[in-house]
Amino acid sequence: MKIKKLWPSVLLLAALNVQGADLLKPFVLASRGAGTVAEKAEQAKAALSAAEFTVVGNYSPYADAQILIVTSDELKKNAAASEHGGFGAGQRIAVTKVKDEVQVSYTQPLYMANVYRMKGDLSGTAKALEAALGKLEDYGAKGMSAAQARKYHYTIGMEYFDEPSELADFGSYEEALKAVEAGLSTNKSGVSKVYRIDLPGKQESVFGVAMKGSGDSKAMDDRFLMSEIDFREIRSTAHLPYEILVSAGKVYALYARFRIAINFPDLSMMGANSFMNIMAAPEAIRSALQKAVQK
């Protein structure tokens, strides 16, 4: 009798474990331990290249942090098949020194495929990144189901994925690309180019950008932003860099209340290390990006 009475509890626990395993989180911790950022970044670059990823950008937003941006045939093909899929055409790999250890982490493709509402689930990319870099755990949030991720927004009144900011409208894809390249090359409004990925068979390109500001423009600065919200033991450095999307003749960016929240969905609204501390950031980022791509 006692064994039979335990069965419902055991079954419930098993069901909860399966459910927990299916929850998606923004990042994957690949490894942590001794070493230097430079050494670990070079090792990661070699492993990624061997796994047939193409490194398209390299960004160091502040000391002891280096971010590699990669793409692949699978990523570009899936992005081309999805509306505004360019936002998910690359994956970000971060190498960060935290106290006496170096953490290697990367964006979780399964999570990204859902929050960016992509057609494919990027399971092949997830397996390839794990094989190349390793995997200790997923992290960055309590987690959400694929269905929750596809309709995610931080709270009532906040933007969804399909509500990006339209930064500019040009007569053609070529004209839009030319304007964005020109604006980023001059570091206009503190925004500069990190990488560019062109999608096959589609008039769509995504640019990764570095954002640096001070004084009145401090709220859009990458270093300032991360100093306020990336405070946990395992860092979420792979949140950076931000993206600008050229699709046909229009230029878009995900509004920061969505773009930041997808990588920090459990961040408190108020208090220490909260969204309240970066309240000015969403509009400051939108304004800086808009100025960067205008003629």
Query: Is pTM, for the whole model, over 0.75?
Result: yes
| pLDDT for res 22 | 83
14 within some domain: no
pLDDT of residue 16: 40
Structural domain includes residue 68: yes
Q: Is residue 266 part of a domain?
A: yes
Peptide bond into 61 cis (omega under 30): no
The confidence score (pLDDT) of residue 272 equals 87
CA distance 90 to 197: 8
| Residues in the chain, pLDDT under 50 | 1-20
Instruction: Report H helices in the chain.
Output: 2-22, 37-50, 73-80, 109-115, 123-133, 146-150, 173-185, 222-229, 256-259, 281-293
Domain annotation covers residue 169 = yes
Q: Read out DSSP for 258-276?
A: HHTTTTSTT--SSSTTSGG
pLDDT at position 3 is 39
What single-letter DSSP state applies at residue 94? Answer: E
Q: Bridge partners of 243? A: 208
51 domain-assigned: yes
CA distance 295 to 292: 8
- Dihedral angle, C-alpha 252, 255, 258, 259, nearest 10 °: 70
1 within a domain of the structure (yes/no)? no
Domain annotation covers residue 132:
yes
* pLDDT computed for residue 295 by the predictor: 76
Q: Under DSSP, is residue 25 helix (H, G, I), strand (E, B) or coil?
A: coil
Cα dist from 238 to 91, 104, 119, 218, 263, whole Å: 9, 10, 23, 20, 9
Q: In this predicted structure, what is the pLDDT of residue 177?
A: 98
What local confidence, expressed as pLDDT, does residue 18 receive?
39
Q: What is the side-by-side order of every strand in the sheet holding 191-198?
A: 165-169, 250-253, 242-247, 204-211, 191-198
Range of the domain at 73: 24-293
Give the total number of structural domains in the chain: 1
Q: CATH no. for residue 110?
A: 3.30.310.70
Those residues with Cβ within 8 angstroms of residue 198's Cβ, 6 or more apart along the chain or in another chain: 204, 205
For position 21, what pLDDT does the model report? 54
Q: Do the domain assignments include residue 18?
A: no
